[in-house]
Amino acid sequence: MTPEWNDPHRLPRFALPRRYGVTITPDLPSATFEGDVIVDIDVTEPDHRVLILNAIELEIHSVAIDGQPATFELDTTTERLTISRNNTLEVGSHQVTIAFSGTINDKLRGFYRSSFTDSDGNEHVIGTTQMQSTDCRRAFPCWDEPDFKAAFGITLNVRQTDTAVSNSPEIERVHLENGLVAITFSDTMVMSTYLVAFVVGPLETTDWRDANGIPLRLVHVPGKSHLTAFGLEVAEFCLTWFQEYYGIAYPGDKVELLALPDFAAGAMENLGCITFRENLLLVDPQTATQPERQLVADVVAHELAHMWFGDLVTMRWWNGIWLNEAFATFMEIAACDAFKPEWGRWLTFGIERTVAFETDSLAATRSVEFDVNSPTDAEGMFDVLTYQKGGALLRMLEQHLGDTQFRDGVRHYLRTHAYGNTETSDLWDALEATTGEPVRDTMDSWIWQPGYPVVSASFANGELVLRQRRFSFSDGTDDTTWMIPLSYRTTTGISTLLLKEREHRVKIDTDGPIIVNAGGHAFVRVEYDNELRSRITQDVLPTLDVLERYTLIDDAVAAVTATRLHAADFLNMLSEFRNEDAFSVWQSITAGLRLVSRIIGEAEERATFETTVRELCEPALRRVGDPVEGEDDLVGSLRGLLLRTIALLGNDRTSIERCRQIVNDAATTTVNPELLAAATTVVASCGDESDYERFLNGFRSSQTPQEQLRHLYALAEFRDASLIARTCELALSSEVRTQNAPFLLRACIANEHNGSGAWRFVAEHWKDANDKFPTNTIVRMIDSVKLLTNDEDVAHVQSFFADHPIPQGATTLQQILERQLINATTIRSQRTPLLASLK
């Protein structure tokens, strides 16, 4: 017996799978399946009589080793199948055969059930899979850990009318005596179990197309072929772009993109068989907004990036999942920036980075990488710190090393570790080998330490003085330091340095503006002293990069939240941006205005704030003007954002009526999608029961996934408490898919007028929600309780979760609860001086 056998989370390493032959026979109407698996293994140590692998929610019928029956025991606590025989296993090759059966579940994990209703009202069932992180064991017994890589040969016995797809191309089709068809797929490359996929059901496919030598098509439910072109266009571009960037051919044999009606995650990077939520793959570019199209492009690019970074080269254990996802995030932005340069994707990534800053400003934050014992521990890694902070750190490193040098290091890493498993440090070592820079020391200071620095910049006696400290929303001291690749710009150009110490001084002979974190790439906030702040005048702002202007506002919003900047002073600061025309900057401005709105609440001084909003935003909306043919996509996005802000935060009756007219016009004519999306939110926010019925009917009859979600989430915007109560009930009904319902409830809790009532509903139906919804959505569902800041709500939320923990999202829950307390403190501290200023 080896020491690993006593590890409750890791399997012993003396038996290594080389190939799985998996046969699955699904019965979709009864939601059951039968299967058998033949596993070729290598035994590497003598004197063992026992094999241990993973299985759960399966009925094991028989087990044999080398054709000889073996005894077995399935432990549902440890999710392990122990196989025993009387004589020891010799070192060398063996074959394990297991017959089993199971249920096609409705929890959106393992082998699960999805469904759709056709145009005649008939329901159809799809059997599909989601194996990450550790749910392959629910589909067939296996060594379900990422470093047990093996080849997989899948055979699916299906009805003749069904479409069946898996990771590899179909190589054989045999008609069986029972009327089923046995469809066999070629062996995959060696890969981890969490990447195995198979999907069966009455699905349609597009024609195959050649994507630079790679067969590519899209699989969807019937009647949606007209929504496939954009996703295929993105995929074809990305496959070519990634092969050029990585310098390595696509590692699979084909790419099939599958749009599924029910999917708990956003998408999943199964090799050659990539699964998506429908709204993240199917889209009508003529009716979708730019953010909706960008979301499709982002997700398609993200999953395809994984084919190399994640599938070809895989983390050894789940502690490395952050790098897997962070790198795919980095690559999705890079690919989409190449696909649609006019979207300015690296700029808008600055907005997404903000949510990571917010979480990382909490005491309950975590380091990017941390020790993971059980796979459940790793579930906490699927958050903004992995995707947004991790992606931002890689972008910071790329900009510090140079994009060509960074790419060369990535190529070296992938070539060195192809078909294998790695630790995070292997990437740093590859980058050091190609650049000669101290990458490991630099990045270790970022991934193993929680939080991030704020760099204070002051100017005295001809010196720029830079000091770093940990940024936090709350007061406290922390001696953490980081190795910060930092740039600063003066009138003479850009200079760079690696800020290692707590303080650094630079001689500078200038009385002009000094921009610290030039380009905005470092994962830091910046605090200027009064002298340097006074140099960034309204005349200087247009000379700054868009991301630099964005970070000025974003840093100020964080300072307001931390009560280090008066909200009134922030409002005055925004007046300097009245000539701003960049969509990204206005996103930051409106985020700040929403914070100020919540601070004010329903006080009588709100009218003054509304006037301020209109005076700030209306000139920008006039400059944007009406939609014109061929205008930049981001101009349309800005128009919609400004209209919505003026109507809701500015309480402008003219804009509200304009929005109502837009929604009315949409019933009979084609309307600009950006304006329609904005108008939908405005009408719902100001609407009555007739408007509610309109959007409810729109949800039920929408022609695209984007329109359906737009109408669904509009039902969470109403000010009438009884209508929000209807929406909460709707979320728990069978009419809303369980993949969407938790997020509908989250939107209801975020409702500024009825969030408290929505939260009480969720608390009262807590067991129902946990029984019904996918486990990974529960903590996301209650994220918006952080916006409930009156004393009664705070006490109720904090007390409720003291008695109702969320084990699969424990760290995230701590962060949400801390943020609620901080938000309550912010409003309590800022309200009185802000109202006095508005008077």
Cα-to-chain-centroid distance, residue 43: 39
CB 187 within 8 A of CB 19: yes
Cβ contacts of residue 765 below 8 Å, gap of 6+? 732
Query: H or E segment at 594?
Result: helix 583-600
Q: Assess whether 303 carries a catalytic annotation.
A: yes
Cα distance between residue 539 and residue 232, in whole Å: 45
Query: H or E segment at 700?
Result: helix 689-701
- Beta-bridged to residue 767, according to DSSP, are none
CB 488 within 8 A of CB 518: yes
Say whether 52 sits in a helix, a strand or coil: strand
The Cβ of residue 665 has, within 10 Å, a number of other Cβ atoms equal to 14
Least Cα distance to 288 among 677, 694, 624, 716 occurs for: 677
Cα-to-chain-centroid distance, residue 701: 28
CB 659 within 8 A of CB 643: yes
**Which of the following is catalytic: 292, 303, 358, 527?**
303
- Lookup result for tokens 């900057």: 585
Where do the H-state alpha helices sit in 418-545?
A: 424-435, 439-447, 530-535
- Beta-bridged to residue 466, according to DSSP, are 457, 504
Secondary structure in 3-state letters for 786-834: HHCCCHHHHHHHHHHHHHCCCHHHHHHHHHHHHHHHHHHHHHHHHHHHH
Cα distance between residue 443 and residue 586, in whole Å: 32
Least Cα distance to 314 among 444, 151, 148 occurs for: 148
Cα distance between residue 393 and residue 327, in whole Å: 10
Handedness of CA 465, 466, 469, 471 (dihedral sign): positive
Return the structure tokens found at 105. Answer: 């579940």
Secondary structure in 3-state letters for 391-413: HHHHHHHHHHHCHHHHHHHHHHH
- Lookup result for tokens 């199948």: 81
Cβ contacts of residue 444 below 8 Å, gap of 6+? 428
Cα distance between residue 755 and residue 766, in whole Å: 16
Where do the H-state alpha helices sit in 419-483?
A: 424-435, 439-447
In angstroms, the Cα distances linking 63 to 71, 116, 268 are 7, 37, 31
CB 292 within 8 A of CB 704: no
Return the structure tokens found at 274. Answer: 């990539």
Return the structure tokens found at 226. Answer: 């007209």
CB 652 within 8 A of CB 615: no
In angstroms, the Cα distances linking 728 to 263, 320, 496, 708 are 21, 38, 52, 17
Cα distance between residue 704 and residue 283, in whole Å: 7
Is residue 57 left, alpha or beta, with left meaning phi > 0 and alpha meaning psi from -120 to 50? left
- Lookup result for tokens 């205005």: 593
Cα distance between residue 586 and residue 380, in whole Å: 32
- Beta-bridged to residue 82, according to DSSP, are 52, 73
Cα distance between residue 89 and residue 16, in whole Å: 13
The Cβ of residue 128 has, within 10 Å, a number of other Cβ atoms equal to 24
Active site residues: 303
